[in-house]
Structure 1
Amino acid sequence: MPIITILPSGQELEVEPGLTIMEAVLAKQLAWPTTCGGKARCTTCAFVLIKGFENVSPMSRLEEHQLAVRKGRHSLVQKLRLACQTRVKGDITIRKNLQEFC
């Protein structure tokens, strides 16, 4: 089963493959910020993908559009993704604290 490593805490979660990051985190009864309930409307759940780019689903047009509009086109270069849209296929490392990136 895939492992999500969440920085800066270093917390590791073993998750079911195919779940979105938000679904996986909520299944472990942990909190993840969202204001739209996981509908890709707010970008509150954005995170930076640090490692394991090949182990997540490709970015959808909706996700790309929302990030570009709400966080700026530079966010796409910085590997920002939405936890509500990104499906896990293998081990990944992500950064939840975005203050240094946005």
Structure 2
Amino acid sequence: MPVLTITPSGKTIDVVEGGTLLDALLAAGEKITSKCGGEAKCGACHVFVVEGRKGVSKMTPLENERLDSIVGVGSKSRLACQVRFGAENVTVEVLSFV
């Protein structure tokens, strides 16, 4: 079972392959905004995948389009609602504020 490490809180949790990063963060009690209900429309759940980028799903065209509209994104930027876990451990930095 893959492990998710969350910064800056330092929490680590077991996650389910195929589950979304947004669901895992909310289950862990992280304060992350998702105004669109996981549809990749608002961009509020923007995070950085710090380690384990090969262990998560590839970016969808919709996610790429949304991230292009957000200032300050980079190669580690993802929308938590669109990231699905693979078999590898992942470390993310939560950027959204509620």
What TM-score range do you get, normalising by the shorter chain? 0.7 to 0.9
Per the alignment, residue 47 of structure 2 pairs with: 47
Amino acid at match of 1:30: G
RMSD: 1.8
TM-score (norm 1): 0.83
Contact 1:50 1:95 (8 Å CA) reproduced: yes
Secondary structure of 1:63 counterpart: helix
Amino acid at match of 2:94: K
1:23 Cα offset (Å): 2.1
TM-score (norm 2): 0.86
Secondary structure of 2:73 counterpart: helix
1:91 aligns with 2:76: no
- Aligned residue pair count: 95
Identical aligned residues as a percent: 35
Per the alignment, residue 80 of structure 1 pairs with: 77
Quick one: distance in 2 between partners of 1:92 and 1:19? Answer: 13
